[in-house]
Amino acid sequence: MNSSVALDKKESVAIPQQKKKGLSYYIRLDYMLYLMLLVPIAYIVTFKYAPMYGIQIAFKDYNIFQGVSMSPWNNFETFRQIFSSPQFFQVVRNTLMLNFLDLLLGFPAPIILAILLNELVWNKFKKISQTVLYLPHFLSWVIIGGIVTQLLSPTGMLNSLIGHMGGQALPFLTNKFAWVATYSLIGVWQNAGWGTILYLAAMTGIDKQLYEAADADGAGRLRKIWHITLPGIRPTIAILLILQLGNIMAINFDRPFNIQNNLVMDYGDVISTYVYRVGIQSANFSIGAAVGLFQSVICLIFLVTSNFISRKLGENGIW
């Protein structure tokens, strides 16, 4: 009897609940990681968020001597000015056209190269090939522009060689359509090798037993690529495609600026060079800010739309 009462008393004793751990506990637990995280956070806040203060320049009659806060508001007058300019819609067309060609030619190129590199058996040759393919990415567009001019100009090395062989010089940089093709192919050459890194990393996550099972079934290389490799890297392809579609209105300044010339400005003038010429060189900073804001909004719309479509089709998204 007494023993049963003692057991009941023990069972009735309440178990103390653990105190909920706060944010400070986890910071103390992994303080070194949080300290390392401060550097990229400081970079993003300083160079990404802080400059957003200048967005209001797009809605002001900005004067460099009055500053951002003291310049008078002009509401949407700057946007009316750029939307009434035929030149603005020309540079928008050129930007979309060149970026679409980059998407059409440049997006599949690193996938194909990564598959080819993954199929190489001789590791030494594979490493040499990777190094050769990565090197163009580390060249600045100033250097590439100089090389292109020396090689492909009407008096360049390639046309001189063609002339010595009895041929006629080709207008690589003076004909509008030839310039567009040259621009796109140079972009593929410069970026394709570097883009293979992500796809090769994704391929390392594919289960090797799938390839062994395919070998046991007598599958050839093409069948293994189609049924194992490509499905294995499909999530990576989907995410990178979404990100590239999100940048369909964003274009590098250095690339067109260092290759274009007055003969091809109808196709070579893009948003970034337009902002440089009209916004910075002409000191019309309100127009530069308005064009940049318009460009960012269009990129955001493309990004959200492409991510939504990707999720609806059952693929991965960036959120």
**pLDDT string in tens for the chain (319-residue length):** 555 555 455 555 555 566 667 778 888 888 888 899 999 999 999 998 998 898 999 999 988 888 888 899 998 999 999 999 889 999 999 999 999 999 999 999 999 999 999 988 888 888 899 889 999 999 999 999 999 999 999 888 998 999 888 888 888 999 999 999 999 999 999 999 988 999 999 998 899 899 989 988 888 889 999 999 999 999 999 999 998 998 889 888 999 999 988 999 999 999 999 999 988 888 889 999 999 999 999 999 999 998 888 888 777 777 7
Phi and psi of 18, rounded to 5°? -70, 135
* 162 contacts 168 by C-beta, under 8 angstroms: yes
- Domain range spanning residue 102? 76-138+176-312
Residue 232 lies in a domain: yes
pLDDT of residue 199: 94
From CA 148, how far away is CA 159, in angstroms rounded? 12
From CA 275, how far away is CA 282, in angstroms rounded? 10
67: helix, coil or strand? helix
From CA 171, how far away is CA 24, in angstroms rounded? 66
Residue 51 lies in a domain: no
pLDDT of residue 190: 93
pLDDT of residue 16: 57
Residue 29 lies in a domain: no
pLDDT of residue 228: 92
Residue 193 lies in a domain: yes
Residue 85 lies in a domain: yes
318: helix, coil or strand? coil
Residue 277 lies in a domain: yes
- The CATH number of the domain holding residue 298 is 1.10.3720.10
Instruction: Identify any residues that bridge with 73 across adjacent strands, giving them in sequence order.
Output: 60
- Domain count along the chain: 1
Task: Give DSSP secondary structure letters for 185-234.
Answer: HHHHHHHHHHHHHHHHHHHTTS-HHHHHHHHHTT--HHHHIIIIIHHHHH
Residue 84 lies in a domain: yes
Give the total residue count for the chain: 319
Residue 25 lies in a domain: no
Task: Write down the pTM of the prediction.
Answer: 0.83
List CB contacts of 275: < 8 A, sequence separation 6 or more. Answer: 287, 288, 291, 292
